[in-house]
Amino acid sequence: MSIIDYDPSMLMAILPELLLLGLAMVVLAADVIWRPSQRRFLAWLTAGGMTAILVLALIFSRPDASQGLILGGMLRHDWMAFAFKLLFLFAGAVTALISLDFPGVGERGEYFALLAVATLGMSLMASAADLIMLYLAIETTSIPLYILAGFIKVDDKSTESGIKYFLFGAMASTVMLYGFSLIFGFAGETNLYALAGKLAAGQVSPWVIIGAAVLVLVGLAFKISAVPFHFWAPDVYEGAPTPITAFVSTASKAAGFAVLLRVMLAVFPQVEAEWTAIVAAMAVATMTLGNLIALAQKNIKRLLAYSSIAHAGYAMIGLVAISQLGSASVLFYLIAYVVTNLAAFGVVVLFARAAGSDEIADYAGLSRRSPGLALALMVAILSLAGMPPLAGFVAKVYVFAAAVQTGLVWLAFVGVLNSIIGLYYYLVVLKVVYLYRSEDEDKPIAVPRGAALGLAVCLAAILIIGVLSGPWLDWSLGASAALF
């Protein structure tokens, strides 16, 4: 690969990224030009822009049959990356919609510009095929997210959340960078797809490769908040502005998985047995710990934080089952999880705006205050619990199926037993919403049109993915074929 391979058509492959950069600038410009009263339309502008980019990407940037490396081997334009890009754009658009009128962020141009840049970074993470590019992409994603988490400066919790996220994140990424440098040192190569061959040819001791793999895993485990690198998640999720919590817990986590899938499968086939054992152990710990601690939570954001830790564990099952069905099930799981969690956080945002609280106890009487919002929360929560006909059910079935297929029946059992613990705390939330009475029952909850649209899209997606999962699964299987 050299600069000579450059072909203008490659620009079409990174059209979404280019347009996202443009969108960030447009948002910043609009922030300056628009009068304060108009600035609430920044959310619409961002959401509309991302939706438009999603549509344009679908038309112009589909990978061709070669699914090859582009731009000097920096990126790989394959269906897996493309699928993730669409997912990030969707998550970004919904996040922008639920940020509409959110106190402290809803009228700030920087906020939406950073959101666009973070989405850009994630898109690059999904397609990066070179260690250098990968690192840059990860940082392009992380730095805006650190700022966004601490965006509400007057709120101590938000500030704490930003700093905590930054410190943990910086630590994890240095460890990962150390792993990268080891790999480069032994292989003399930075391209992900050339590395495995070089490592094999260089007769590097497998222990060194395992060491490097572990260091890389640390960085990525932080991104997907896998145990034991999950400590930041609950505090950050609780303190960050809720729309950002939604974004970090969905898109950012999915981006981590995108990299994890690509790097582990492409670079470390020689030590496959070892790293799958490590990831399997992490998956068990992540599911179990996330679910057990979630049982004790009284705050809905923290509950969803621990539940999202647990969900990372389920998705890791699919990774451990190294197979096409396994990777497809991870992608499918993430799609289902992203739309579901966005819906759940959407309800949390709307409720908090009206009631000023994130305590689960305050959700009492929600089904009488706002039957629609209660229904939305029920659908999201049941999907998280893995109940049909919702997306979460089929996603879990596929992940467990992948595990059983590769003979990891024990892991599937750990998974299903964990989903029972999950069901308990999810049902407790539903109980509060539907059963308990409160004094505020007659105070209705206003749902702005933008947020209603975002929620409706997510709910429709949860149902459609759940009932008609065929095309999505075919698509995931096709996308994951690119990894093998």
Partner 1 sequence: MQSFPILSVIVFTPIVAGMLILMLPGERKTEIRMTALAAATFTFLLSVWAYFSYDKALGGYQFVEKYTWIKALGISYHVGVDGMNLPLVLLTGVVMFTGVLISWGLDDRPREFFALLFILATGVFGVFVALDLFHLFFFYEIAVFPMYLLIAVWGWQVTREYAAMKLTLYLFVGSVIALVGALAIYFAAGLNSFDLLELEQAGLSTTFQRFWFPFVFFGFAVLGGIFPFHNWSPDGHVAAPTAVSMFHAGVLMKLGAFASLRVGFMLLPEGAQYWAPVILGLATVNVVYGASIAMVQTDFKYVIGFSSVSHMGLVMLGFATLNKNGLTGAGLQMFSHGVMTALFFAVVGMVYDRAHTREIPKLGGMAKALPLVAVAFIIGGLVSMGMPGFSGFIAEFPIFLGLWQTAPVVAIIAALGIVITAAYVMRVVRNVFFGDMPKEFVGHIGSINSLDKVALVLLSGIMILIGVYPSVMAPLVESGAEAVLRLFGGG
Q: Can you give the binding site for partner 1, defined by CB under 8 A?
A: 367-368, 371, 375, 382, 385, 387-389, 393, 397, 400-401, 404-405, 409, 412-413, 416-417, 419-420, 423-424, 427, 430-431, 434-435, 469-470, 473-474, 477
If the CB atoms of residues 191 and 329 are measured against partner 1, the closer one turns out to be 329
By the 8 A CB rule, do 333 and 318 touch? yes
- The dihedral region occupied by 448, where left means phi > 0, alpha psi between -120 and 50, and beta the remainder, is beta
DSSP state, residue 271: G
224 versus 433: smaller Cβ distance to partner 1: 433
197 Cβ contact partners less than 8 Å away, ≥ 6 residues apart: none
Minimum Å gap between C-beta 378 and partner 1 is 8
Cβ of residue 413: shortest distance to partner 1, in angstroms?
Answer: 6
C-alpha–C-alpha distance, residues 381 and 387, integer Å: 9
CB of 407 to partner 1, least distance (A): 9
Least separation in angstroms between CB 462 and partner 1: 14
Name the token pair of 420.
């029972």
Of 148 and 473, nearer to partner 1 (C-beta) is 473
Q: Is residue 240 within 8 Å of 232, Cβ to Cβ?
A: no
Question: Which residue lies nearer to partner 1 by CB, 305 or 433?
Answer: 433
Neighbours of 41 (CB within 10 A): 15
> In the complex, what is the shortest distance from the CB of residue 463 to partner 1, in angstroms, rounded to a whole number?
11
How many degrees, rounded to 5, is the angle at CA 112 between CA 120 and CA 107? 180
Distance CA 213, CA 465 (A): 34
| Shortest distance (Å) from residue 298 CB to partner 1 | 17
The smaller minimum CB distance to partner 1, of residues 8 and 470, is found at: 470
Nearest residue (CB) to partner 1, 1 versus 421: 421
- Residue linked to tokens 């999907």: 383
Spatial CB neighbours of 41, under 8 Å, sequence gap ≥ 6: 34
The structure tokens listed for 35 are: 């009068």
Nearest approach in angstroms of CB 374 to partner 1 is 9
Nearer to partner 1, 200 or 417 (CB): 417
